[in-house]
């Protein structure tokens, strides 16, 4: 369930959940509620009513709900008020139901932080997407600093949430708009925010070496879905989480149907792959061609040889990215060589 701020006021969004399937599975379930940090004021009474009704519905359907997790990015100046509301909420919930919250680095050490911890059973510190979008998704040195601060201040068991996705920024008149799980219908210019898998893996391995008694582990946000083109694949998530050596796997190919053909680069690896500095192709009955994505085209006089030369230094193909490098109008086009 999510409560977010719209122009007309707060709006509720509830995910469609297969309750009979969850009940048949029998494993413990955590109910997660996302509360928009842009809300001017929490509708406390309505929210409490919604949560208690939802819990009753799930339990009546046989779902084993063991924890309520609240993801509320409130301002650090509102921590005491947040703690007070949680205290009231807990009085309405079953005593056996654990309550967890997502915490932000900006909360650490602020007034109300200790009081907030007293009202919950578990914390998850989010160390990604907490700075302005222009600063990127994840900064490992800051993440280490925040984790160390929490380890020194935590009164309850805690997890550290790390990213397994990337995003894009869309430039709007009023500022930047973040595009993530689903593509937005916009003609605005996109600036991709790529995630360095090696940096995340290094942080994960570093965290495993810390002997903090209340540290429970990592939370990966978010898990792969077929419709989510910006999340890591299961294989990449597994490779990063177990400390496997991460490599690139760049594939070059000619795609399409004659005479409309494209030169395409695809990275099936787990880290960014540098693009070749030069790509040579042989064509038959070619009439036109052009290069894009930082390449320039050298076309032989008889239009049978095409050479793509990289003009932009340090150009890479990200994991799971498909990049068109050029096109040609030919009856046949084959890769003959590429280097560097």
Question: Higher confidence at residue 100 or residue 135?
Answer: 100
Task: Give Cα 121 to chain centroid, integer Å.
Answer: 26
DSSP annotation of 173 reads T
Tokens of residue 65, six digits: 């709900």
pLDDT higher than 80, residue 264: yes
- Lowest-confidence region among 32-41, 70-79, 84-93, 296-305: 32-41
Q: How confident is the model at residue 340 (pLDDT cuts 50, 70, 90)?
A: low
Look at residue 249 and tell me whether its pLDDT is greater than 80. Answer: yes
- pTM metric for this prediction: 0.85
Distances 316 to 73, 194, 239 between C-alpha atoms, Å: 34, 11, 21
CA distance 233 to 270: 9
The pLDDT tens digits for 189-246 are 777 788 999 999 999 999 999 999 999 999 999 888 888 888 998 999 999 999 999 9
Summary mean pLDDT of the chain = 91
Under a CB-based contact definition with an 8 Å cutoff, are residues 2 and 33 in contact?
Answer: yes
266, 321 in Cβ contact below 8 A? yes
Catalogue all structural domains in the chain, each as residue range(s) with its CATH number. Answer: 2-241 (3.20.20), 250-339 (2.60.40)
- 131-162 pLDDT per residue, tens: 776 677 899 999 999 999 999 999 999 999 99
Omega before 222 within 30 of 0, i.e. cis: yes
């Amino acid at each position: 369930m999510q409560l977010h701020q719209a122009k007309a006021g707060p709006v509720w969004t509830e995910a469609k959940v297969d309750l009979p399937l969850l009940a048949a599975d029998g494993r413990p379930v955590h109910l997660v509620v996302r509360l928009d940090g842009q809300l001017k004021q929490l509708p406390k009474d309505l929210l409490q009513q919604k949560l208690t009704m939802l819990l009753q519905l799930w339990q009546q359907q046989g779902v084993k709900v063991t924890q309520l997790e609240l993801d509320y990015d409130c301002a650090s100046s509102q921590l005491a008020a947040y703690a007070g509301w949680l205290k009231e909420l807990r009085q309405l919930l079953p005593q056996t139901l654990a309550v967890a919250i997502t915490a932000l680095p900006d909360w650490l050490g602020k007034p109300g932080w200790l009081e907030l911890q007293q009202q919950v059973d578990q914390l998850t510190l989010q160390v990604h997407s907490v700075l302005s979008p222009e600063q990127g998704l994840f900064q490992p040195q800051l993440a280490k600093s925040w984790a160390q601060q929490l380890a020194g201040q935590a009164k309850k068991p805690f997890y550290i949430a790390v990213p397994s996705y990337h995003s894009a920024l869309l430039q709007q008149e009023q500022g930047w708009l973040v595009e993530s799980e689903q593509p937005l219908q916009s003609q605005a210019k996109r600036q991709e925010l790529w995630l360095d898998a090696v940096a995340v893996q290094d942080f994960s391995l570093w965290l495993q070496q810390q002997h903090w008694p209340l540290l429970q582990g990592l939370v990966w946000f978010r898990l792969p879905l077929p419709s989510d083109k910006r999340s890591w694949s299961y294989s990449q998530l597994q490779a990063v989480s177990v400390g496997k050596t991460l490599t690139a796997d760049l594939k070059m190919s000619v795609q399409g149907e004659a005479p409309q053909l494209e030169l395409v680069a695809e990275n099936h690896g787990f880290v960014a792959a540098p693009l070749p500095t030069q790509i040579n192709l042989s064509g038959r009955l070619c009439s036109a061609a052009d290069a894009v994505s930082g390449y320039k085209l050298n076309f032989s006089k008889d239009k049978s040889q095409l050479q793509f030369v990289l003009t932009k230094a340090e150009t890479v193909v990200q994991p799971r990215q498909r990049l068109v490098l050029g096109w040609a109008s030919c009856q046949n086009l084959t890769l003959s060589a590429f280097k560097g």
